[in-house]
DNA sequence: TAACTACCTTTAGC
DNA sequence: AGCTAAAGGTAGT
């Protein structure tokens, strides 16, 4: 049994510029959950081979980090977490810019959502799972994947936690079609084949080294490289560029953003039923022209504001009638 | 070239 | 209770 090492500390990130609820549970990552421990709210989850418990305070975020010693990680947990939450990014300043550029942005800026800096492989697999899917099911699929192929870190608050598997761990001695079959059996549906084939491709392209190249490439070139993989279209490619390749100008257009754009930004699209590639480009470029180099982060704020789970509770029909 | 539709599976909403 | 539609889309037609 591997030894588990525990570390604790704080990172400098004021609650005012970091809403952990929306940042961690808003569909960027699928491995965080809320720990409703009294008296303080905590969030726990796995990222970067480490199991974290985070407690937001007014002036900083307190963390506990647990890592199994047989899992390789950087041991400077403070810098690890700071990088993950992009603590150096001045969100306050950018939000002011976004509001200046877009009058309508104001009503969405209530809560400060941070753009996580995630690991490419995890990001790619999660978002290949995201097509025609919802956050709840994606989370359970990823949890299964980690427990089946990752390394156990330990038992925390009644749940076993696992690292996200590496490319090698996912492939093992398995052929591409074997992995496909295993994922099929685990209810990944038609995404199973996409994932198995893409992993084979990624291995051929150089694995982690390839991801490093994509980080250094201009955004549009990284995007074009990604859509060559089976199961990755422009939407998922943009998610990957934005969330794990540091291309913060990428603006993924999903069904939520499409509907939001129809209602609030590009009314002439109101009659359109589906997001064609032409419409995709139009909406994406609209937000890029509005917000520039950090347009993708601005989009993430809009996306979170639009999620049903973060909507203020609708008043009941009975309450509406009483008002009338 | 651009727009339509099948696709795995789950579940919220009738 | 049983059905439909929609869920962070993509690839093939």
Which residue bears the tokens 């700071």? A82
Cβ of A28 < 7 Å from strand C? yes
Report the distance from CA of residue A309 to the C1' of nucleotide B12 in Å, as an integer.
14
**pLDDT at residue A73 in the model:** 63
Domains of chain A from N-terminus onward:
1-90 (3.30.310.40), 118-246 (1.10.340.30), 255-307 (no CATH)
Q: What are phi and psi of A92, to 5 degrees?
A: -60, -45
**pLDDT at residue A72 in the model:** 62
- Cβ contact A191:A128 at 8 Å: yes
pLDDT digits (tens, 9 = 90+) for A87-104: 999 999 999 999 999 999
Bases on strand C under 7 Å from any protein CB: 6-11
pLDDT digits (tens, 9 = 90+) for A172-206: 999 999 999 999 999 999 999 999 999 999 999 99
Q: According to DSSP H, which parts of A42-175 are helical?
A: 77-84, 91-101, 120-129, 135-149, 167-171
**pLDDT at residue A318 in the model:** 35
Cβ of A234 < 7 Å from strand C? yes
Cα A204 to its chain centre, rounded Å, is 25
Q: Give the CA count within 13 Å in the CB-facing half-sphere of A293.
A: 4
Q: What are phi and psi of A186, to 5 degrees?
A: -90, 20
Cβ of A235 < 7 Å from strand B? no
Low-confidence ranges of chain A (pLDDT < 50): 314-324
Closest residue to B3 measured CA to C1′: A276
Distance CA A238, CA A21 (A): 23
**pLDDT at residue A1 in the model:** 60
Closest residue to B8 measured CA to C1′: A189
Distance CA A68, CA A115 (A): 27
Q: Is A235 one of the annotated active-site residues of the chain? A: yes
């Amino acid at each position: 049994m591997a030894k588990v090492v525990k570390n604790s500390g704080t990172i400098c990130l004021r609650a005012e510029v970091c809403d952990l609820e929306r940042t961690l549970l808003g569909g960027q990552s699928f491995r965080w959950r809320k720990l409703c421990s009294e008296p303080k709210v905590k969030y726990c989850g796995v990222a970067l081979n480490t199991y974290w418990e985070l407690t937001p305070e007014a002036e900083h975020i307190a963390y506990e980090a647990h890592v199994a010693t047989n899992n390789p990680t950087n041991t400077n947990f403070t810098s690890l977490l700071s990088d993950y939450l992009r603590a150096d990014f001045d969100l306050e300043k950018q939000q002011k810019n976004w509001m200046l550029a877009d009058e309508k942005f104001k009503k969405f800026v209530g809560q400060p959502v941070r753009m996580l800096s995630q690991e490419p492989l995890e990001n790619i697999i999660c978002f290949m799972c995201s097509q025609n899917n919802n956050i709840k099911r994606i989370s359970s699929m990823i949890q299964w994947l980690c427990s089946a192929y990752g390394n156990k870190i330990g038992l925390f608050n009644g749940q076993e936690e696992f690292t996200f598997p590496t490319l090698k761990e996912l492939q093992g001695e398995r052929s591409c079609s074997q992995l496909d079959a295993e994922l099929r059996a685990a209810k990944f549906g038609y995404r199973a084949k996409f994932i198995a084939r893409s992993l084979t491709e990624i291995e051929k392209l150089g694995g982690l080294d390839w991801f490093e190249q994509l980080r250094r490439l201009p955004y549009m070139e990284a995007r074009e490289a990604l859509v060559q993989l089976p199961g990755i279209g422009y939407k998922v490619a943009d998610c990957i560029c934005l969330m794990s390749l540091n291309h913060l100008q990428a603006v993924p257009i999903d069904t939520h953003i499409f509907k939001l754009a129809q209602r609030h930004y590009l009314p002439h699209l109101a009659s359109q039923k589906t997001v064609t590639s032409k419409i995709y480009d139009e909406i994406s470029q609209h937000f890029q022209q509005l917000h520039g180099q950090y347009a993708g982060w601005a989009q993430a704020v809009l996306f979170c504001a639009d999620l049903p789970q973060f909507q203020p509770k609708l008043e009941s029909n009975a309450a509406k009638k009483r008002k009338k």
